[in-house]
Amino acid sequence: MKSLRLMLAVVLVSVSTVGFAQSDAQKPVAHSDAQKSFDQLKTLAGSWEGHLTTVPQQADVEGKYALVSLRVTSMGNALMHEVRIEGRMDDPITMLYLDGDRLLLTHYCDAGNRPRMVAKVSPDGKTVEFSFLDVVGSTRYGNMHDALFTVVDVNHHTEVWTWMDPEGKPVLARFDLQRKN
């Protein structure tokens, strides 16, 4: 009789453990702010067009037409950003990706270096600000330092990139972009 009660107790504990495990499996997984920001930025996948403005004005690019392409790649683990500016031969590539609980950006710059930036999300979730983390390669010609992505709506977003010239003076490049397709 004692062994029957012991066995019944073991069975009841086992059944309740399975029940709790099943209820835990049905709970939604909480996403980090980095994951939410990354998911928001991935909605920008597609082709974009617009004009570039700079502060202080840079005659070689001021008002130029720009094409921006964003593509989700690596089975959803990376977002590739490519920009082409009218009259320029270069097309720098930027990769955005999660690294644990951080959203990072690596910019493969036409200046020959690779700055990395880490994201901070705004409370409304529509703005993702990337701040300088570190840089690999020479900064002899300057380097990209910060980036700010703002989702206005599904067909409109802005990007503000901060370039630090060799003397450490910032140049802001603002893209006002409309979805092309």
Domain ranges in the chain are: 33-179
pLDDT band at 125 (very low <50, low <70, confident <90, very high): confident
pLDDT at 156: 98
pLDDT at 1: 52
For residue 74, the SS3 value is coil
pLDDT at 89: 83
Instruction: Give just the sign of the alpha carbon dihedral 164, 52, 72, 130.
Output: positive
Name the helix (H) or strand (E) containing 161.
strand 156-164
Residue 27 predicted with pLDDT over 50: no
- Confidence (pTM): 0.82
CB 134 within 8 A of CB 119: no
33-179: CATH topology is Lipocalin (2.40.128)
pLDDT at 3: 53
pLDDT > 90 in the chain, percent: 75
How far is residue 52's CA from residue 65's CA, in Å, rounded to a whole number?
7
How far is residue 99's CA from residue 37's CA, in Å, rounded to a whole number?
13
